[in-house]
């Protein structure tokens, strides 16, 4: 199982790697559910870590429907982080009716290539998840980070399993939110999981796996 750790600082990313993380999703302001990290922190993290670093592209808190100016900033950030050498982009755009904005999301995916692209937890507020997962697959998105449309992934297991069965490895379903070493056994049917793992990582000598 691949363990992706969400880190909001260079220092935490280094600790996560030492604790056994397989990949980092770098952001800032986790109390706002994560925003695009600053360039300096990202560059330092990418240059120091040996494991892959993915970058969250989310210009502000709140909804996932962006103005033209915000969308242009997202595209500029993707180009900048690609130049730094990150290994993946985490992002996504919705319409005001809580459907996936296919045109804009596809533009971000194409701009990110050849890097991997993860559609983030904006998916957890879409109205038709079964229909929308097919849209993500058709766009060629590599993975979906989701809690199964619940606050915690342990509560969204029914939908997570359903999505995993429907997609049949056409896209990676990566459960996230509230995942810890103690409940990892609930996600054994998934190849990847996502979490901050703060208790584990902040315990000296503790290994994630």
Residue-wise pLDDT for 162-200, tens only, equals: 999 999 889 999 999 999 988 999 999 999 999 999 988
The answer to whether residue 142 is domain-embedded is yes
The answer to whether residue 206 is domain-embedded is no
The answer to whether residue 209 is domain-embedded is no
Tell me the pTM: 0.94
Domain limits for position 35: 2-201
Give me the CATH number covering residue 122: 3.20.20.380
The answer to whether residue 74 is domain-embedded is yes
The answer to whether residue 63 is domain-embedded is yes
Helices 39-48/68-84 angle, 10° precision: 30
Q: Which residues have C-beta within 8 Å of that of residue 56, sequence separation ≥ 6?
A: 25, 26, 27, 34, 35, 36, 37, 90, 91, 120
The answer to whether residue 179 is domain-embedded is yes
Q: How far apart are CA 190 and CA 168, in angstroms?
A: 11
Tell me the per-residue pLDDT of 95-114, one tens digit each, with 9 for 90 and over. 999 999 999 999 999 999 99
Confidence category of residue 15, pLDDT binned at 50, 70, 90: very high
**Domain count of the fold of the chain:** 1
CB 34 within 8 A of CB 8: yes
């Amino acid at each position: 199982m691949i363990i992706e750790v969400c880190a909001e600082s260079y220092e935490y990313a280094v600790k996560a790697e030492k604790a056994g993380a397989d990949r980092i999703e770098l952001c800032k302001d986790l109390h706002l559910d994560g925003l695009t990290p600053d360039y300096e922190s990202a560059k330092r993290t990418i240059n120091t870590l040996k494991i892959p670093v993915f970058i969250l592209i989310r210009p502000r808190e709140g909804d996932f429907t962006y103005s033209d100016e915000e969308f242009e900033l997202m595209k500029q950030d993707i180009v900048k982080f690609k130049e730094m050498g990150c290994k993946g982009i985490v992002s996504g755009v919705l319409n005001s009716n809580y459907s996936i904005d296919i045109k804009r999301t596809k533009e971000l995916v194409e701009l990110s290539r050849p890097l991997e692209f993860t559609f983030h937890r904006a998916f957890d507020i879409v109205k038709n998840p079964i229909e929308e997962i097919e849209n993500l697959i058709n766009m060629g998105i590599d993975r979906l980070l989701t809690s199964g449309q619940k606050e915690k992934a342990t509560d969204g297991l029914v939908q997570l399993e359903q999505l995993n069965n429907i997609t049949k490895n056409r896209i990676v379903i990566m459960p996230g939110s509230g995942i810890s070493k103690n409940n990892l056994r609930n996600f054994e049917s998934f190849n990847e999981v996502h979490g901050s793992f703060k208790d584990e990582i902040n315990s000296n000598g503790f290994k994630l796996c």
